Amino acid sequence: MIQKPITDWSQCPVVLDLPLTARILGRSVDSCKKLAQQGSLAGAFKVGREWRVSKKEFQQYIEGC
């Protein structure tokens, strides 16, 4: 299934899950999980057993690249 690309940050929730983060980066969910575990994914934090990503920190990181 082809997903519609995200073209505007306003289309993203305040806290992203890893599938959405992976979609934005064009990477796999497993790849993003590894980055989060290594502390290399900006804005990543755990809620229980799930990884989440702060939109604000992630956006600042992406726009700074």
DSSP-derived secondary structure for 5-50: PP--GGGS-SEEEHHHHHHHHTS-HHHHHHHHHHT-STTEEEETTE
Please report, to the nearest 10 degrees, the dihedral formed by the alpha carbons of residues 8, 10, 15, 18 taken in order.
Answer: -20
Domain residues of the chain, as ranges? 13-64
The reported pTM is 0.84
Residues 13-57: pLDDT tens digits?
A: 999 999 999 988 989 999 999 999 999 999 999 999 999 999 999
pLDDT of 63 strictly over 80: yes
Which residues are CB-contacts of 20 (< 8 A; sequence separation ≥ 6)?
6, 12, 13
CATH number belonging to the domain at 13-64, selected among 3.40.50, 1.10.340, 1.20.1070, 1.10.10: 1.10.10
